[in-house]
A = this chain, B = another copy of it.
Amino acid sequence: MTIRAVVWGENIHERTNEVVAALYPEGMHTTIAKALNADKAISASTATLEQPEHGLPADRLAETDVLVWWGHKDHGAVADEIVERVARRVWAPCTLKWREAGERERLWVTSPSHPIAEGVGEYFELENEEMYGEQFAVPEPLETVFISWFQGGEVFRSGLTYRRGAGNVFYFRPGHETYPTYHDANVHKVLRNAVKWAHNPQGTKSAILEAPNVPVEKALEPIVERGGKLHASGEAGFR
């Protein structure tokens, strides 16, 4: 079965910068699409920012197996609606199942040496809980700390850690407004452990969200500037 690929390109510099236009007269997206089509298993076409709906109408996206994305100069020009459409296409599976029946949940510790599981024992029970069932469409975590067993037959990854930038992120499932979960001593223990684990004592770095242009003369190893340029020396770059 042929893989239907769409190579998306901004197609800005190819039309506005002479050096780039000379290198890629058909646009980088076309060059890339041709490289893909050299493999018979792939059928690649192109789409660009300036086309209606950026070349990604819903029916075309639905028939796209792989989307190759090239952006640099103007990420902000991509319409929110199209961003949302692409994201939904990628995230397509069901997110989770749920049931509000006050059933028993048993949270098993799967990473017993993890600081968040400290003092919790092998498992703990919540006698009345809302069921959340797999498939839970989240990124593969750094570590799985708790997995829940539900009386009605489902399982759920109930304690997951992630690191994102300067942030340590912990997802904790338990808690439904109509049940006394947040009065439970084990839940309290986990929350305290989680706060301590999430705390990053190094705090915020000064260069917040910057992407600094390192001048050639300040390179750590001596180099000589070569080739065409988009940016003047010391320029901030695209933001």
Which residues of chain A from 76 to 120 have any CB-CB distance to chain B below 8 Å in the complex? Answer: 88-103, 106, 108-113, 115, 118
- CB of B153 within 8 A of CB of A219, answer yes
- CB of A36 within 8 A of CB of B192, answer yes
Given contacts A24-B177, A227-B128, A231-B100, contact A182 B142 (CB under 8 A): no
- CB of A152 within 8 A of CB of B72, answer no
- Distance in angstroms from A33 CB to nearest chain B CB is 10
Given contacts A93-B113, A99-B213, contact A137 B165 (CB under 8 A): yes
- CB of A102 within 8 A of CB of B65, answer no
Contacts of A88 in B (CB 8 A): 208-209
Q: Does A56 touch B at the CB level, under 8 Å?
A: no
- CB of A102 within 8 A of CB of B225, answer yes
Q: How many residues of A contact B (CB 8 A)?
A: 128
- CB of B108 within 8 A of CB of A122, answer no
- Distance in angstroms from A190 CB to nearest chain B CB is 10
Contact partner of A106 (CB less than 8 A), chosen from B176, B216, B220, is B220
- CB of A148 within 8 A of CB of B139, answer no
Contacts of A142 in B (CB 8 A): 140, 142-143
Q: Does A51 touch B at the CB level, under 8 Å?
A: no
User: Can you name 28 A-B residue pairings with CB atoms under 8 Å?
Assistant: A20-B177, A35-B188, A42-B195, A65-B199, A65-B200, A65-B203, A66-B195, A89-B167, A90-B167, A92-B204, A93-B207, A94-B205, A97-B212, A97-B214, A98-B211, A100-B229, A101-B216, A103-B219, A110-B135, A112-B135, A115-B201, A122-B134, A122-B135, A139-B139, A140-B143, A144-B144, A147-B147, A179-B227
Closest 8 CB pairs of A and B: A102-B227, A153-B220, A102-B226, A178-B228, A90-B167, A91-B165, A152-B219, A35-B188
B-contacting residues of A (Cβ < 8 Å)?
1, 3, 5, 13-14, 17, 19-20, 23-24, 28, 31-32, 35-36, 38-39, 41-42, 44, 62, 65-66, 68, 70, 72, 88-103, 106, 108-113, 115, 118, 122, 128, 131, 133-137, 139-140, 142-144, 147-155, 157, 162-169, 175-180, 182-183, 187-188, 191-192, 194-196, 198-205, 207-216, 219-221, 223-231, 237
